[in-house]
Amino acid sequence: MTTDQRIMLFSLFSRAMAASRVVGTIACDQERERITIKVLGSARSWSTFNNQDVDKMKGALLAIIDPTNLNAQVKQIRMPRTRTLYAIRQFDQPLWSKIAFGKFQGQTDLDLLTDEQLDQLRITLYERRRSKARKARHVEPEPEPEFANQPEIPF
């Protein structure tokens, strides 16, 4: 979990406790543990959360803060796909479009690809970039010019 994610989650947790009218450090700690178990299935430190855990917890806290706002909760459910699309779009469009066309039977519209296909595309893009960087680090040295092997002329 990043620092920004931690700040966001604890801010949402504070708002959720205010909405639930939970007061006191011990009561808040117990409530945080209860919510964590309910959402993730086990009691865990929030500092060990990965992105999926953060998304689930954020959705649960938003539901506590405003149970009538389904849009915010649905947005959190779609967050893994949003992250994958963002990662793909960081690459040049002609590159990912060409790869998608070849991998997915001519399909280049990212919105029509499944989550699994998007993950495959993201991984392929990162692996190609990594391979290109590795090759760039291991460039063959250019041969020395022919005059470099001639003896020096004393002055």
pLDDT tens digit string along 117-150? Answer: 999 999 999 999 998 888 888 766 666 666 556 6
**Which H or E run includes 4?**
helix 3-20
pLDDT at 20 over 90: no
The token pair that represents 43 in the structure block: 């009691």
pLDDT tens digit string along 50-90? Answer: 988 999 999 999 999 998 888 887 888 888 899 899 999 99
Is the distance from CB of 100 to CB of 107 less than 8 angstroms?
Answer: yes
d(CA 139, CA 59): 48
Is the distance from CB of 76 to CB of 90 less than 8 angstroms?
Answer: no
